[in-house]
């Protein structure tokens, strides 16, 4: 008698792009890997010389993962994506 066994391990089909602060050039929702902080960066924030402008200064090298190209992704969706990709959210 043969038995079929289904695995319960999640299958991750995609990886999230990892970037430095200076490399963020697209609108989206980003999580800082070390702190778990969520940054929502709309397209308007990326236009040079326009307001609002986002500036981050730090002595350490921050790494970010882009959760979504949509900066207005729901918090629940963002938290779920973090969980799927082993990033501890702090939001």
Q: What is the pTM of this model?
A: 0.77
Residue 41 pLDDT = 93
Where do we find the tokens 């990886």? 15
Q: Is pLDDT above 60 for 12? A: no
How far is the C-alpha of 7 from the C-alpha of 4, rounded, in Å?
Answer: 10
Q: What is the DSSP letter of 20?
A: E
Residue 91 has pLDDT above 90, yes or no: yes
Q: What is the mean pLDDT of residues 50-61?
A: 73
């Amino acid at each position: 008698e043969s038995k079929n066994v289904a695995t319960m391990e999640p299958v991750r089909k995609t990886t999230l792009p990892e970037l430095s602060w200076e490399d963020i050039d697209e609108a989206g929702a980003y999580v800082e890997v070390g702190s778990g902080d969520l940054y929502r960066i709309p397209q308007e924030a990326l236009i040079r010389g326009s307001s609002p402008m986002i500036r981050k200064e730090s002595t350490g090298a921050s790494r970010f993962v882009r959760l979504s190209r949509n900066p207005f992704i729901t918090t629940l969706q963002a938290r779920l994506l973090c969980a799927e990709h082993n990033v501890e959210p702090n939001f």
